[in-house]
Amino acid sequence: MSDTERAATLEAAASSSAGGTGRRNMVLNMGPQHPSTHGVLRVLLELDGEIIEKAEADIGFLHTGIEKECEVKTWQQVVPLTDRVDYLANLSNNLAYCLAVEKLLQMEIPPKAQWMRVMLTEITRLNSHLVWLGTHALDIGAMSMFMYCFREREEILKIFEMFSGQRMMTSYFRIGGLALEPPRGWEKVVDRFCRYMPEKIDEYEGLLTANPIWTIRTQGVGHMTLEDLLEVGVTGPMIRAAGLALDLRKDKPYSSYEKFDFAVPVRTASDVYARYQVRIAEMRESCKIVRQALDGMPEGPVQAEAPGVVLPQREKMKTQMEALIYHFKIVTEGFSVPAGEVYQAVEAPRGELGYYVVSDGTAKPYRVHMRTPSFGNLMALKPLLEGRLIADSIASLGSMDFVLGDTDR
């Protein structure tokens, strides 16, 4: 069915639901270029006055066939593709994929690399939540928030650039550890960031938390019960704002998260305001984790001792023939991974991000499936919008915090 036909069917359904009185509901096409959809989401809304009678999400505008492409790349070449799945939480994607493949290879990662991974994924969480807070507040009308959040995000992007040479598509985590040794002076930069970030969060809260306009637009809006949220497969801050402490960092710790001391913020109101509170509290917890990682960073290598998988150091390549041979083999034909399957999930900023990786024992993945949080969370769009006011739909959509690249892959 083409789009015009679909719109026509929806309109026909709307007129018939009006009971043959000749009264017809209005069908509104929201997106794919609507600013509050934060990307290219299209929602077909059937309106009865101010009330949304029916809402249907239309996704796929950003589908790039990443899962298909993974099947023709070598294991290591898939890492840059994972960046492009969720471009606001690229390091979480890198991490989930690398952990999955490392699990198949049964590879031990040195402690420093693990701690670095924790530190950088938490900075990624701050980055993602800052973009969310800025755009969500902008949608609701607090325009200055956007400037403040992006000011701090700029610092984060500078940190990423310092580490990896790239601001967004970092590909900094590789199978076997990190891509590069951390740059000289990184401690100072991260330390400075850790010092001022909590103050900035206080500033955001000062602007929003008790602001009557903000509370009126968010409190009691977009409420959903915990049972409904679980039923439609929602994860992340949305489910924690409904009272369930579902966090994979605690439930199934990975990359030595069990060594860090942090709380999982939970609220019970399950409205837009509660989701805001959860994310703000998570930002504070992330700052704490980054601080702990900085203070307790172990010494040692950042790559595993695995000659056939990890590229040898430049120096060794020039002096040792084995290293040169390994380098040539890894670059030309990659490495094979034992046959098997694994589902590795991490707690990404938006919720559970799982990589289901199947290997048939060759140098390329047989199948990579990404269970992305935005795809799961967007299924809540229908219950979240239907029967509610159209004016609240912007706040409700914003509180879901989806990224369309993450949804469509």
Partner 1 sequence: MLADAVKEKRVVQALLGEPACAAAILGGKWALDELTLDIEPGAIVTVCSFLKQRDQYNRLISVTAVDWFPQEPRFEIVYQLMSTHRTEWLRLKCRVGGAEPAIDSVYNVWKSADWYEREIFDMFGVTFRNHPNLKRILMPDDWRGHPLRKDYPVHGYKYSYQNE
Least distance from partner 1 to the Cβ atom of residue 63, Å? 4
Q: Return the amino acid letter for 407.
A: T
104 binds partner 1 (CB under 8 A): yes
7 binds partner 1 (CB under 8 A): no
378 binds partner 1 (CB under 8 A): yes
Residues of this chain, 350-369, that bind partner 1 according to CB under 8 A = 352, 354, 356, 358, 366-367, 369
| Beta carbons within 10 angstroms of residue 188's beta carbon | 9
341 binds partner 1 (CB under 8 A): yes
Least distance from partner 1 to the Cβ atom of residue 367, Å? 5
What distance in Å separates the CA atoms of residue 387 and residue 338, rounded to the nearest whole number?
Answer: 51
Q: Given the complex with partner 1, which of 60 and 206 has the nearer CB atom? A: 60
340 binds partner 1 (CB under 8 A): yes
Phi, psi at residue 207, to the nearest 5°? -80, -30
Contact code string over 296-335 relative to partner 1, x by CB under 8 A: ----------------------------------------
Helix (H/G/I), strand (E/B), else coil: 211: coil
Token pair listed for 41: 């989401």
**Nearest by Cα to 100 from 375, 345, 371, 409:** 345
258 binds partner 1 (CB under 8 A): no
Residues of this chain, 45-64, that bind partner 1 according to CB under 8 A = 59-60, 63
All residues at 6 or more sequence positions from 407 whose CB lies less than 8 Å from its CB, including other chains: 41, 59, 62, 372, 374, 375, 378
Q: Given the complex with partner 1, which of 18 and 342 has the nearer CB atom? A: 342
Phi, psi at residue 123, to the nearest 5°? -65, -35
SS3 percent helix, strand, coil of the chain, rounded to 5, is: 55, 10, 35
Residues of this chain, 275-294, that bind partner 1 according to CB under 8 A = none
Least distance from partner 1 to the Cβ atom of residue 194, Å? 31
Total number of residues that touch partner 1 (CB under 8 A): 43
265 binds partner 1 (CB under 8 A): no
Q: Return the bridge partners of 28, or none.
A: 45
Residues of this chain, 209-238, that bind partner 1 according to CB under 8 A = 230-233
From the list 24-32, 116-124, 178-186, 348-356, the region that binds partner 1 by CB under 8 A is 348-356
Least distance from partner 1 to the Cβ atom of residue 265, Å? 17
Q: Are 293 and 119 in contact (CB under 8 A)?
A: yes
Helix (H/G/I), strand (E/B), else coil: 333: helix
Q: Given the complex with partner 1, which of 45 and 229 has the nearer CB atom? A: 229
Q: Return the bridge partners of 343, or none.
A: 356
**Residue 34 Ramachandran class (φ > 0 left, ψ -120 to 50 alpha, else beta):** beta
**Nearest by Cα to 371 from 354, 357, 348, 347:** 354
Binding site for partner 1 (CB under 8 A): 1-3, 6, 59-60, 63, 65, 67-69, 71-72, 103-104, 106, 230-233, 244, 246, 251-252, 340-343, 345, 352, 354, 356, 358, 366-367, 369, 371, 375-376, 378-379, 408-409
